[in-house]
Amino acid sequence: MSPLLLVAIAAFTIWIGIVGVFPRLSSRRSHRRHYRELGIKGRKYQANVDEQGLKIAGDDTTWSRQWADISSKGEDKQLFMLYSRGTLFIFAKRHLTGEQQLELRKLMGLTPP
């Protein structure tokens, strides 16, 4: 086995051990903790997306972004994600009809996966 591969495997094994002992180093756990601290779990939000951009309204807050302000857009099998000025907007596909997914993909300028 090459020495470089051996070093990579050793580094990965050490990292797994450190994360097991110090769970705060794991980004997944850190993000989950941050999500809980935000206090948005279980709250309902209404999203309206059109040619101008997106508007999201909840009980206590509202976000509005024009398409020109959105710096990153993408999708995978389960989600649509948009990033703008420090805010990540995530739309779960399970909450959208097929027609809504096609329209959102068109507005975002994405091609079907």
> Same domain for 65 and 104?
yes
Q: How confident is the model at residue 25, as a pLDDT? A: 57
β-bridge partners, 20: none
Q: What confidence score (pLDDT) does residue 26 get?
A: 59
CB 69 within 8 A of CB 85: yes
Q: Classify residue 92: in a domain, yes or no.
A: yes
Predicted local confidence at residue 12, as pLDDT: 76
Give the pTM.
Answer: 0.63
Each of the 113 residues of the chain gets a pLDDT tens digit; together they read: 677 877 788 887 776 776 666 655 556 666 677 767 777 777 888 889 999 999 999 888 888 999 999 999 999 899 999 999 888 888 999 999 999 999 999 999 988 76
- Whether residue 87 lies inside any domain: the answer is yes
Query: Within this chain, do residues 60 and 89 fall inside the same structural domain, yes or no?
Result: yes
Rounded CA separation 36/101 (Å): 28
Beta strands across the sheet bearing 45-49: 45-49, 53-58, 62-66
Q: CB-based contacts of 17: which residues, under 8 Å, 6+ apart?
A: none
Beta strands in the chain (DSSP E): 45-49, 53-58, 62-66, 72-75, 79-84, 87-92
Look up the domain containing 27 and give its range.
Answer: 3-38
**Ordered strands of the 87-92 beta sheet:** 72-75, 79-84, 87-92
